[in-house]
Structure formats: structure tokens, C-alpha cells
Amino acid sequence: MSTVLARAQLRQRADYTYKFNSKTGRHGWLRLTPAYSVKIVEELIVDHDQDKRVFDPFCGTGTTALSAAYHGHECVTTDINPFLLWFALAKTGQYSPQQIVATREACASVLDFVRRQSIKPVPAPPIHNIERWWNARSLDFLRLLRAAIVEVTQDDSIERRLLLVAFCRSLIGLSNADFNHQSMSFKDNGQLDIGLDIDLTSVFNQDVRFVLQGASENPTGVARVILGDSRNPSEVVEGPFDLVVTSPPYANRMSYIRELRPYMYWLGFLSNGRDAGELDWAAIGGTWGIATSRLVDWSRKEQHFESDRLTHVLDKIAHADNKSGVVLANYVAKYFDDMWAHFQGLVPVLASGAEVHYIVGNSTFYGTVVPTEILYAEMFEALGFTGIECRAIRKRNSKKELVEYDVVARWG
Ligand SMILES: C[S@@+](CC[C@H](N)C(=O)[O-])C[C@H]1O[C@@H](n2cnc3c(N)ncnc32)[C@H](O)[C@@H]1O
């Protein structure tokens, strides 16, 4: 057994008493972050003094940045997806009482335009099969609402930013999408009746109220949100950091772009399926559209992470009794090549004694478990980290082998 494995401990965590989230609505601005990860991040941040500089190389919806800022830390976070950065910036921003009032007033003017229908609606976004997402009434409403927000507010203003966050909530609230599963699915077609008999303007009004309630509770710390590729953090961020708390992509073929499509199209971050595929290919663990076809001819760089365990896993997946075995083995290999580049790139921005926490789940392909947590631990060990532990946090779903871990290590 390797020393890493010998040290890997499985620690079941006790129930959390989670009070923080009830103080602010900001964590719930979009329905994208599962509550458990907020709890875990919160617990990890609370444990550290305020003078610790925090880094999250995989920002997503900004959970770490927001928690760190609320606890008075300086936090820097990066992501490759510009929509998520826009959203994290909105979430972690400071808002004055005057800005909150101005946004409330802007909302009233927006709804006035919508009620009187005195504005030209924006075109429907080019989302494939858009009629699966919204019924005609909700779609018309969203098109008018989007146009009115632009009409009433100035480019790059706080009012526009906060109203667009509320717009994101409304567009999902009125949609047929179901985010209760691990990845997005559609409810029964019957659910497309949503919004047929309700006052749609009151839906938006409530969402604005929810967003403004969260926005009025300002964090004391500062969050910096930066567009960048975590395979080379030192290109965009300046260390040293004392604490890394992050949830990287999992090697489970979940596509963030697929999940985020409706927001990204409505807000203009995407305008066609090709760009969506390109962004997914640029992301670690991306697997959607063009990303999958590129994996067919993809091969590992000469200098990759050497691990007998990984070689064995890749071999089993490639030889599974399934025609997609080879491409999925490539998918897993690329995921670990990218994460290896990330961990190598991380070291130069860490302070001596820095503590890192990677919240990540394992996955399975054709019955073969990909032990992501152990492979991370092996990579940390190869780079010279110490105190490496894989702490089990929770089972992910009914499949008993799928578990979420906090992979912990110390630098120097
Ligand atoms: C599991 S999510 C992060 C979830 C996050 N903790 C939250 O609060 O939502 C992983 C994130 O990694 C980002 N990502 C993927 N590849 C990346 C890369 N090469 N550089 C930076 N970010 C990347 C994705 O866009 C996604 O937002």
C-alpha cells in the first residue's frame, strides 16, 4: 500500500448546524450550488484567522469567495467561464443603501414598461428547442423584461447587474428545467403550463426583492474575481495564498456549459452551439458537443503524471464491453492531465505552510471506479505536499461507491 493510501483517512462528518446561509440570500441567488457545499466551505473558512489570504482556482458561482469575504478574508478566485465570473462579481460585490433603493426604483420602471408593453422585446435567444424550456407566454414576458432592463438601466451599472441576477432567477423559475438531479433535466411536458395563470411581473418583483435582500448584507472582506485558466494560476493571480478551498470539476462528464446554457444565452455570453462546445473543451472535464468528438483523436502529452493506479483504471475503462470505452478512457486521462497541470501551477502561488482543500467526488465508468481523491493525493505527494488526507464528506447518491471527499494537504 502506498504511503498516501496508508495516510488516507475516512472521516464521517457529523451533522452541520448551518446558520450562516439564513443570514443572507446571496448563496441562493442562482439554483446552482448545492447547499452542502456551502456548508462545507463555510466550515473550512471559519476555522482560519482573518489574515489568511484565500484562493479558489475554480470559482463557479463564487461560494468560497463569498464565504471568505463574509468572514473578513481577502479572497482571489478564478474561473474560465465569463458568465460565472460576472455572477460571482455580482454576488461578492458591496452595495450601498442608495444603490439598493435605485435598483428598487429601476425595477418599478422596468415593470411599468413590461405592463404597458411599450418596448420592443429582444429576440428569443438561439437556444435549441426553446419551446421545451418556456411556454409562449413566459417566453414573451422574458423577452419584454430583458428589453426593459436594458432600456431603464445604464451599461455596467449596479442597477442593471442586480436586475439581471433577478432576471436569471425568474427565467429558471418560469422554465421547465429541473435542477433537482445531479445534472439539469426537464420536468414532464405538463409543467410547461407554468406561468399560464400567474402574474409574471410579480414573479420578477419577488426575485428582485430576494436579490436585494441578499445584496444589502455587505461582506467585510474583499473578493477579487478574475478570468483565468487554473492550469496556470500564476499568469493571472499573485500569491502567496495561505488557504485554498475549492471544488474543482469532477471527472464525471457533467458539463457546466450545458447547465448554464439558459443564463448564458439570455445574457449574451453565448450566441451559438459551436461557442458553447469550444468553451466546454477549454474547461477541465468538459465533455459536451465538440469536446467529445475531439477526445476521439486526443492523446496524452509525453510529460504526464505517472501513476500505476491511473494506468490500470484507464486500461479497464478502455477495454470495457462498450464502444465508447476508448473515448471515455481519453476523457478521464485528459481530466487528470489537466489537474496535474493545475497542481503544478498552484505550487508557485502558495505560501509556506499553506493548507489546501479540494472538495471532489469520485466517479464510475462502466463499473470501474475512478478514485479521484486518491489520485489527487498521489499528485500532492509527488509534488512534495505533506499531511495528505482524503476525508469522506458524504455519499453522493444511491450508488454506494460514489462519495464526496475533502482532499486536504499542506505545502511546505
Ligand atoms: C465544481 S465547479 C465549482 C463550484 C463552485 N465551488 C461553486 O460555488 O459553484 C468547477 C468550476 O471550474 C471551472 N473550470 C473548469 N475548467 C477550468 C479551468 N481550466 N480554469 C478555471 N476554471 C475552470 C468551471 O467553469 C466551473 O465553474
Q: pTM score, two decimals?
A: 0.91
Rounded to the nearest whole angstrom, what is the distance from the C-alpha of residue 283 to the centroid of ligand 1?
Answer: 8
* Residues in the ligand 1 pocket, defined by CB under 6 Å: 32-33, 37, 58, 60-63, 78-81, 84, 229-231, 247-249, 256, 283-284
Ligand 1 mutation target, pool 30, 79, 281, 376, most atoms within 8 A of CB: 79
Question: Helix 158-173 to helix 256-266 angle, to the nearest 10 degrees?
Answer: 120
pLDDT at 303 (0 to 100) = 83
- Mean pLDDT, to the nearest integer, of 250-270? 93
Give the strand pairing for 386-395 and 241-246: unpaired
pLDDT at 65 (0 to 100) = 96
Class of domain 3-93+219-410: alpha beta
- Mean pLDDT, to the nearest integer, of 313-317? 98
| Structure confidence by residue, pLDDT tens digits, 140-190 | 999 999 999 999 999 999 999 999 999 999 999 999 886 655 556 666 655
- Confidence class for position 6, pLDDT limits 50, 70, 90: very low
Q: Residue 139: helix, strand or coil by DSSP?
A: helix
Whether the Cβ atoms of residue 242 and residue 354 lie closer than 8 Å to each other: yes
Name the closest-CA residue to atom 6, ligand 1. 247
pLDDT at 21 (0 to 100) = 40
Rounded to the nearest whole angstrom, what is the distance from the C-alpha of residue 154 to the centroid of ligand 1?
Answer: 30
pLDDT at 295 (0 to 100) = 92
Range from 42-51, 60-69, 153-162, 392-401 carrying the lowest mean pLDDT: 392-401
Whether the Cβ atoms of residue 20 and residue 28 lie closer than 8 Å to each other: no
Range from 103-112, 297-306, 345-354 carrying the lowest mean pLDDT: 297-306
Give the strand pairing for 241-246 and 363-365: unpaired
Residue 194 has pLDDT above 80, yes or no: no
Taking the CB of residue 260, how many other CB atoms lie within 10 A of it? 25
Angstrom distances, CA of residue 89 to CA of 26, 139, 356: 12, 27, 23
Residue 5 has pLDDT above 80, yes or no: no
| Structure confidence by residue, pLDDT tens digits, 208-255 | 999 999 999 999 999 999 999 999 999 999 999 999 999 999 999 988
- Residues whose CB falls within 8 Å of the CB of residue 268, separated by 6 or more in sequence, listed in order: none
Find the helix or strand (DSSP H, E) in which 390 lies.
Answer: strand 386-395
- Confidence class for position 193, pLDDT limits 50, 70, 90: low
Mean pLDDT, the chain, rounded, equals 89
- Confidence class for position 3, pLDDT limits 50, 70, 90: very low
pLDDT at 126 (0 to 100) = 95
- Mean pLDDT, to the nearest integer, of 257-284? 94
Rounded to the nearest whole angstrom, what is the distance from the C-alpha of residue 60 to the centroid of ligand 1?
Answer: 5
- Neighbouring-strand partners of residue 257: none
Residue 354 has pLDDT above 60, yes or no: yes
Domain coordinates of the chain in residue numbers? 3-93+219-410, 97-215
pLDDT at 30 (0 to 100) = 80
Atom of ligand 1 nearest to the CA of 37: 6
Q: What angle do CA 236, 239, 244 make, to 5 degrees?
A: 95
Give the strand pairing for 403-410 and 74-79: unpaired
Rounded to the nearest whole angstrom, what is the distance from the C-alpha of residue 206 to the centroid of ligand 1?
Answer: 29
| Structure confidence by residue, pLDDT tens digits, 10-51 | 222 222 223 334 345 788 888 665 556 788 899 999 988 888
| Structure confidence by residue, pLDDT tens digits, 77-115 | 999 999 999 999 999 999 999 999 999 999 999 999 999
Rounded to the nearest whole angstrom, what is the distance from the C-alpha of residue 79 to the centroid of ligand 1?
Answer: 6
Q: Is residue 312 classed exposed, middle or buried when 0-12, 13-18 and 19+ CB atoms within 10 A define those classes?
A: exposed
Rounded to the nearest whole angstrom, what is the distance from the C-alpha of residue 371 to the centroid of ligand 1?
Answer: 20
- Confidence class for position 302, pLDDT limits 50, 70, 90: confident
- Of 401, 366, 387, 140, the C-alpha closest to 253 is 366
- Confidence class for position 314, pLDDT limits 50, 70, 90: very high
